[in-house]
Structure 1
């Protein structure tokens, strides 16, 4: 579905510019990239912090419907990467919302709420989601203030406009470790089961934080996806980034290109992926025949073309008819071997040299088409309409296969008709061509260009670095799979222009067992109109965890009773006292 126009309009009304001071210090980025490898592994990350990490309670308040507790603690990232976090952001501030009375004694669920872009302080999350969840399902809540937001916002920062790209990475690192501190604290205080959620950026931060908790954890990320790279390079947010500053700094300081660019990994590469359809050139002539039969109207308009070649199943006869139609000159001068492959009627794989040959021949065909001005206007309209019918199933590879064959088999006039029918305009066909320097890479076709407005090589290179940096630090493939994926319910908007999903890895593939629900809405409309759905998804996920939690409590209780009984029997055998007295001594 097309991206939401409301998202674009809403973003255009906001004047905030992001990353006005550039990428951040190269040495700081290097430290972040290196520490990411430690933090993204659940085994290592969960052991970084003590279970009794110090937390200070600063305020307690009883209201008519709940108890509100406020506290703070030093963000653990400052201990591991000192000097990266602004002074104002070093203390993590949180607010806890608890019901006056829990619905069940052994069931005290707590959900951690992380902030989306622009969500400063606690008011919005407390009143729009935390309190309603407490009234509807008896869920407690912890609302954590983001670094660079609210009480943690640097004095020289305007609103939510982060100064450096590195700030968003620092924010993510802080939230991952701070969430772990709060989970350990809740467990120590006897709360559970535990969960985490967030909207937009908060949803993605929640996903990252959930990967490092070594126990079952409810996770409900809303309006986010598998990586943040598409948000900053393709979504409407990309128009709010100071690209001129980033490009200038990227090429002015060689460290970005020489060292840092080699440290990042692009998981879903769009530059390569969108142009390797010919690497998988396995469409059979039988499939092509079936496709052409479906385009009856096109066939009638192109009756001058002898389609008997397509219908012929005998490769030798097909080759002969091809040469009859194309003439002795063989317009595109295809090699005998390549020609035999194209007309073999079998599934094929082309070599790199044959791919190059096809590319060159198609380029020649394009030049010829561009020079031909004799195409009738009405014919053009008909074939363009028919081309849309052919392409609407998204099978670009099939269309390109036909384009290759039809460009070869056509005469001057018929070439123009049939090629136009398959949408062989220069702009669209060039998206299918394979750059020679990329032929050795085997990547399935996925995402389109990063940004069609970026045409210069230096602009593309800085965009590529942005994608690599974001994939390196935010792509879920670079983090551990959550402990129990059955407790994950992700809610996404189908028409989301803030968080493009095309070409990105699917959550279901990265986290087998996770559930993804889709809304027929854009990013902004989903946030405004579907708060109730977000809450119901959180409640449902906690209901799933309730059974597991209570069963675990029963097992722990049974294990404790067995231990007490065993100790009592040993004590009684030695001292002749009753088990009752033994229990008193143990406690």
Structure 2
């Protein structure tokens, strides 16, 4: 996925800085982690908000083109976590715009619109999404003010600059429960089918809200993905965080390290977040040399293999097979979702590909929990290795891969394990030697305290000067703060930690192909977490998609509601 330069430039000119006061109180984080386990279970979460939860209507007005309703209610989160929501944010304000006349008898579709980063008050969503949907499809809209935004913004907060990391989790907890309040309010007033949508952060909050409604729910998350961890650790938003402050706080208070870090998990395989760095590094190194590349050693061709596919890999394989660069038999193997074996003919085909095509075949496979790999070298490099140490199979799991608790440093073929760090540093500089590793695509979780710090050296943070930090030179203790950030973001925002929405066929996610705010390659895919959900892409970056593709977002909302009308009526499946 190529990142949008506009996204990076736009982020660089914004003055907004996040988490300027640090992580937040350790006790608040502990309470939030424990409460996450409650709201992630649909049955338990749904019972936290009664069907007749009190809502105060402050204004009802019939306009020329719609009916306007304004009101508020107290956030249910304050009931379960007293004192954790700032007083000014405890009152949830909302605005509803409904058609004056509903065109279809017994059908009053309403969509809840949640705010993205920086979307204060009601006017932006009202004019860009709600009013056009009213006019185009008679879909009513409810606009909920985010905690920490607009009327709910603390007086000492500047713009959208959340003071603490914990604030983002308070915001999420509020919106999950507040959405339930509004869904119940809609049902009491005879409105439905119901849906929820949002852009960017609002899209992710919409996804979380939809997981806890035990009935069919239209969901159209736009410009969001499966977890917020990649947003703050890999996307351009990482540049707006004072990492020095977070590291100092993390190291100075033992509660973060000794207690809180053990309460969270990194959901996706930890080293996968370094995959993009490894692939980019390998490609840049290869472009400096024009030598032919061959597979010099495959430990054993007759072993089960299973490839973890990426969007770009699958597309490249289809293209190569269509151009007869690989046989149909090899294509079928490489695109299968089952284990397979590479025979001599397969390896011969792969060796005939040029270097840019060959890099798409770099993969790791597991046999009896023992890591094996394909090592790619130039003939010259291979010859030098053979002369110097007689080892034809110089493979090392630490060159550009990441260690994890379930990874083992494997035998190089002659009984010598490749663990020498000096040799790692030396051989990793070789311009034509690449190793690209992936686990088979099964969900793994690790306690954040178990992850080694080696992985974090590849994260693309920038200093305020705009120059890249050499994270490899940062003391290893400092990297623990990065591990902790990854862990708490996954713990509280990763969709695999929440219930699957009631009917995933009513989900249409819209993503930007070149989104530099919301990286997708290193985290779980929506289609895998929510089987049956549909993901569509616009050829744009995050900022340009927001500006140019509002009509696409609305079209997907309309389509999802049409699906709901055809499939469900009053919560019952239409035969």
Q: TM-score, normalised by structure 2?
A: 0.73
Deviations 1:331-374 (A, max 9, x none): 32449999xxxxxxxxxxx974505946358964974897xxxx
Partners of 2:427 and 2:69 in 1: how far apart? 74
* 1:354 partner SS: coil
* Cα distance change, pair 458–194 in 1 and its aligned pair in 2 (3 A): same
Deviations 1:82-123 (A, max 9, x none): 001111100000000011111122000000000000000000
Contact residue 24 and residue 166 of structure 2 kept, 8 A: yes
Partners of 2:355 and 2:19 in 1: how far apart? 54
Contact residue 271 and residue 449 of structure 1 kept, 8 A: no
Residue of structure 2 in register with 1:10 after alignment: 10
Matched, 1:153 2:212: no
* 1:59 partner SS: strand
Q: Gaps spanning 5+ residues in structure 2: where?
A: 280-297, 302-341, 358-378, 396-406, 440-446, 462-468
Partners of 1:237 and 1:369 in 2: how far apart? 30
* Cα distance change, pair 447–104 in 1 and its aligned pair in 2 (3 A): farther
* 1:28 partner SS: helix
Residue of structure 2 in register with 1:451 after alignment: 460
Contact residue 4 and residue 521 of structure 1 kept, 8 A: yes
Contact residue 55 and residue 73 of structure 1 kept, 8 A: yes
User: Which is higher, the Rg of structure 1 or of structure 2?
Assistant: 1
Matched, 1:199 2:191: no
Contact residue 386 and residue 392 of structure 2 kept, 8 A: no
Deviations 1:183-225 (A, max 9, x none): 0111111100000000000000000000000100000000000
Matched, 1:129 2:129: yes
Contact residue 39 and residue 45 of structure 1 kept, 8 A: yes
* 2:212 partner SS: coil
Deviations 1:539-582 (A, max 9, x none): 000000112333757989xxxxxxxxxxxxxxxxxxxxxxxxxx
Partners of 1:176 and 1:492 in 2: how far apart? 22
Residue of structure 1 in register with 2:32 after alignment: 32
Residue of structure 2 in register with 1:213 after alignment: 213
Partners of 2:385 and 2:248 in 1: how far apart? 55
Partners of 2:356 and 2:99 in 1: how far apart? 68
* Cα distance change, pair 367–97 in 1 and its aligned pair in 2 (3 A): closer
Matched, 1:354 2:373: no
Matched, 1:231 2:231: yes
Contact residue 332 and residue 361 of structure 1 kept, 8 A: no
Residue of structure 2 in register with 1:332 after alignment: 389
Contact residue 409 and residue 419 of structure 2 kept, 8 A: no
Partners of 1:103 and 1:170 in 2: how far apart? 39
Number of residue pairs the alignment of both structures matches: 457
Shift of 1:292: 2.7
Pick one of 540, 547, 552 that aligns with 1:521.
540
Residue of structure 1 in register with 2:349 after alignment: 290
Deviations 1:260-290 (A, max 9, x none): 000011012434775899xx97665834433
Partners of 1:337 and 1:229 in 2: how far apart? 34
CA RMSD of aligned residues (A): 3.5
Contact residue 500 and residue 530 of structure 2 kept, 8 A: yes
Partners of 2:214 and 2:59 in 1: how far apart? 30
* Cα distance change, pair 292–183 in 1 and its aligned pair in 2 (3 A): same
* 2:388 partner SS: coil
* 1:331 partner SS: helix
Residue of structure 2 in register with 1:258 after alignment: 258
Deviations 1:47-98 (A, max 9, x none): 1111000000011122211111000000000000000111110000000001
Partners of 2:147 and 2:385 in 1: how far apart? 72
Matched, 1:247 2:247: yes
- Of residues 74-83 and 100-109 in structure 1, the stretch that sits farther from structure 2 once superposed is 100-109
Deviations 1:396-448 (A, max 9, x none): xxxxxxxxxxxxxxxxxxxxxxx64xx23xxx76x8799xxx9xx999xx999
Partners of 1:107 and 1:326 in 2: how far apart? 73
Contact residue 265 and residue 469 of structure 1 kept, 8 A: yes
Partners of 1:368 and 1:226 in 2: how far apart? 36
Residue of structure 2 in register with 1:533 after alignment: 552
* 2:352 partner SS: helix
Shift of 1:516: 0.3
Contact residue 272 and residue 523 of structure 2 kept, 8 A: no
Shift of 1:6: 0.2
Residue of structure 2 in register with 1:560 after alignment: none
Contact residue 111 and residue 195 of structure 2 kept, 8 A: yes
Contact residue 198 and residue 220 of structure 1 kept, 8 A: yes
Residue of structure 1 in register with 2:323 after alignment: none
Partners of 1:19 and 1:147 in 2: how far apart? 15
Shift of 1:293: 2.5
Determine which structure has the larger strand proportion and give its number.
2
Matched, 1:109 2:118: no
* Cα distance change, pair 526–258 in 1 and its aligned pair in 2 (3 A): same
Deviating 4+ runs (over 6 angstroms): 325-329, 335-338, 431-434, 553-556
* Cα distance change, pair 501–327 in 1 and its aligned pair in 2 (3 A): closer
Partners of 2:229 and 2:514 in 1: how far apart? 18
Partners of 1:281 and 1:40 in 2: how far apart? 44
Partners of 2:227 and 2:105 in 1: how far apart? 39
Residue of structure 1 in register with 2:290 after alignment: none
* Cα distance change, pair 550–21 in 1 and its aligned pair in 2 (3 A): same
Shift of 1:244: 1.3
Residue of structure 2 in register with 1:44 after alignment: 44
Residue of structure 2 in register with 1:495 after alignment: 514
* Cα distance change, pair 117–281 in 1 and its aligned pair in 2 (3 A): farther
* 1:22 partner SS: coil
